[in-house]
Amino acid sequence: MIFTRRGFVRSLSRTALVLALEDVLKLAIPAQQPVPAASQIGSRPTYDAKPKAAPKQASPVTGTPLGFSFVDVAKQSGLTAKTIYGGEHKNRYLLETTGCGVAFYDFDHDDWLDLFLVNGTRLDADSLPKGPAPISRLFKNNRDGTFTDITAKSGMTRSGWGQGCCVGDYDNDGLNDLFVSYYGQNILYKNHGDGTFTDVTVKAGLAQSKTRWNSGCAFLDYDKDGHLDLFVANYIDFDIKTAPLPEAAGCAYKGMQVACGPPGLDGGKNILYRNNGDGTFTDVSQKSGMWDTIGTYGLSVTVADLNNDGWPDIYVANDSTASTYYENQKDGTFKDMAIESAIAYSPDGKPQAGMGVAVGDFNRDGLLDIVKTNFAGDTDSLYQSLGDGTFEDHTYLSGLGINTRYLGWGVGFVDVDNDGWLDIFISNGHVYPEVDGSHLDAPYAEHKYLYRNLRTGQFEEVTSQAGPGINDAVPARGCAFGDYDNDGDMDAVVNCVNAPPQLLRCDSTIKRNWIKLRLVGTKSNRTGIGARITVTAATATQEMSGVGEQPLRQVDEVRSGGSYYSQNDLRMHFGLDQATKVDTIEIAWPSGQKDTLRDLTANKLYVIEEGGKILKTIAMGAPPADAKSPGVPR
C-alpha cells in the first residue's frame, strides 16, 4: 500500500485511536514549514515562512501579455459612500476588525447588476460621522456605467454591526430576496421587485433569542424539496461587557498591543434554518449536526456538491482552528468530514486563520476545487478535488505559496481573461490598523493578488501587470464578482473598512468569447441555486477542421454566498476563448431534472427555465437603447 498523508488521516477516522491530529502528524509526517505559536488569547496561527513554489511547467500562457487591466471607477460611478466599521486607527475589541460584505444583486431582474454594500458602526458614538447612523446601501444600476443610491426608497434603514449578505428567492415568488447577517439580529428583506423591501425577519421565524455574532451566510436547498433553506455561520460568543481588553489580557501581535481573539474565546454555534415551504423557517441546527464539529470561529461559507453525490455540502472557513466541511448525509443531517477529506488544516496539519473561501474547477477536470484565504504570515490555501469527497493541498504545487505577507479576505475563482480557465482574485487588508507606522512591513491598506491560470495546474502571479485597481492599496474585506456593465468581462466590487468601496472595471483589449446563463427553477427553487452546469465548446481549431485540441469543457454550480461575506452575480459566466458557439449545455437541477441545450451562439445571455426552455436571449456588449447617458468613458 502506498502511504499518503490523506490516506493516513482517513484511516484514523476508522479507528478508535484518540490522539490529537497535531501530535499524530508530528510522529508520522515530517513538518514542511515552521510551526506557529498560539499560546495566548489573541494570537492567530501564522507561519512567517516563504517556501519556494514548484517549478513552472511549460505553458502556452507564460510570458504573454495579459490583455486586460482593472480600473477603479467607484467615484465616477456614484459609489462614494464610506463604509464605517470600528475605530480608524486603533481597535480595542475583535468586533471592530472583521468588516463587511457586498453583493452584486439584480433585485429588479432587468439583467443589469445592482449593488448592495453592507455597512457597520463604531463603539464610540462620538466618532461617527455627523447625521443619521450609518446604514447599508442599495445602488440601482443606471445601465450607463453609473449607479443611483436608492436606499431611502428601499426601506433598508437598519443600522448596526452589519457582517455578510446572501441572495435567494426564499418564497419562490420569482424575486430574489436578500439576507443580511449582523452581530446582533439578522435581517431578511423580502423583495417587491420595484426597489422596495419589507423586513420579514420575525414573520419568517428568523428572530434570535440572544445576541449572536452571525457571520457568513448562504441560501441552499439541502433537502432538495424545492424551497431554499438558510445557513448562517457564527464567529464567537461576544459580549462587550465581558470581552477582554488588550491591556488586561496581554494580547499582542508581533510585539504590538492589539484587540484580543479569537483563540481563548468561546466559539459561536453555526445555524441551519429549514424552509417550511410557507414563507417561514425552523431552526434545525442541533439535530442536523451543525454543532458537531471540531472547528469553530466560523467566518465565510460556501455551498457546493463537493463529493459529487448530487447533494449540496457546506464548507466554512474558520479563524484560528480547523475548517469545517459539512458533508450532506441525504437524510436532513450533516457530518463534519474536514479532517478525513484533508481540507481542515495546513499541509503539515496545523490550524489556519481562514477568512474567505471560493469554489471552482481550476484545472478543468470536472471536479470542484477550493481556495481559502488566510491570515498574514501564512499562505492562502488551494485544495484540489480528487472526486470522492477528498482533496489534496496544492498550495505550493500551484504557485500560490509564494506569498505570505498580506492578509486575505474576499476571494474568487474568476475567468478574468475569458480563456476558459479560472484565475484567482484575492482582496487583502490587515486586521490591525495599529500596524501602520509600526516596525512591521505589512501595512493596513494592501494591494490585491491576481493569479493567472497557466492551464498546467499552476498559476502565475500577475498582480503588478493587472492595473491600478489591483495595485492600489485599500483596507479590503468583502468582494464580489460580476459583469456590472454587461460588456462580457468580469468586474469586481470591494467593500473596504472606513473607506469608500472599489468598483473594479475590467478593461480588456483581447477579443475572446463568452456565454452567460441565468437559471429559473420550476420544480427546483426559482433561483436555480444548486444546479450544476456543464458547458462544452469546440476550440477555434476544431470548429474549422473538426479535429485538434481538447474541447473547452467547464463545470460550475449556481450558488448563494461565498468569497468573504459576499454574493457574486447569480448569472453564470463561462469564458470561451475563440469558440464562437457552445456545442452543449447540460444542466443538472436539484430536483433531478436534466436538460441539454445545443448550439448556442457566444456572447449572449440566455435565461433558461427548468425543462430546457429558453425564456430570453440578450445580446450583450453594446449600450442599451434606453441608457440614460453615454456613461463612463472607456
> What is the tally of structural domains in the chain?
2
Share of the chain above pLDDT 70, in %: 88
Residues 56-102 pLDDT 10s? 777 888 878 999 999 999 999 999 999 999 999 999 999 999 999 99
Mean pLDDT, rounded, for 248-268:
90
Residues 208-256 pLDDT 10s? 999 999 999 999 999 999 999 999 999 999 998 888 888 888 899 988 8
Residues 519 and 499 in one domain: no
Mean pLDDT, rounded, for 158-183:
98
Q: What are residue 572's DSSP bridge partners?
A: 517
Residues 365 and 323 in one domain: yes
Residues 402 and 292 in one domain: yes
Q: What is the structure's pLDDT at 125?
A: 76
Residues 507-526 pLDDT 10s? 999 999 999 999 999 999 99
Give all strands of the β-sheet with 324-328 in edge-to-edge order: 298-304, 313-318, 324-328, 334-336
Residues 241 and 181 in one domain: yes
Asked whether the predicted pLDDT for residue 292 surpasses 60, the reply is yes
**Residue at 230 is within a domain:** yes
**Residue at 306 is within a domain:** yes
State the chain's mean pLDDT as an integer: 89
Name the more confident of 404 and 544: 404
Please identify which residue in the block is written with the cell numbers 434570535. 208
Give the pTM.
0.91
* Single-letter amino acid, residue 318: N
**Residue at 624 is within a domain:** no
E strand or H helix at 288, and its extent? helix 285-288
Residues 391 and 525 in one domain: no
Domain harbouring 306, CATH code: 2.130.10.10
Residues 285 and 320 in one domain: yes
**Residue at 628 is within a domain:** no
Asked whether the predicted pLDDT for residue 37 surpasses 80, the reply is no
Q: Say how many Å lie between the first and final Cα of the chain, rounded.
A: 59
Residues 453 and 597 in one domain: no
491 lies in which domain range? 69-246+262-508
Q: Is 354 helix (H, G, I), strand (E, B) or coil?
A: strand
Q: Which of 225, 202, 390 is nearest to 281 (CA)?
A: 202
Q: What is the structure's pLDDT at 24?
A: 32
Residues 117-128 pLDDT 10s? 999 999 987 778
Give the burial string for 401-436 (b: 16+ CB within 10 Å, else e): bbbbebbbbbbbbbbbbbbbbbbbbbbbbbbbbbbe
Residues 289 and 375 in one domain: yes
Q: What is the structure's pLDDT at 41?
A: 61
Q: What is the structure's pLDDT at 61?
A: 85
Residues 519 and 504 in one domain: no
CB contact at 8 A, 569 and 483: yes
Asked whether the predicted pLDDT for residue 139 surpasses 70, the reply is yes
Mean pLDDT, rounded, for 295-318:
97
Residues 535 and 468 in one domain: no
Residues 154 and 108 in one domain: yes
Q: Which of 145, 123, 144, 121 is nearest to 133 (CA)?
A: 121
Distance between CA atoms of 265 and 594, rounded to whole angstroms? 47
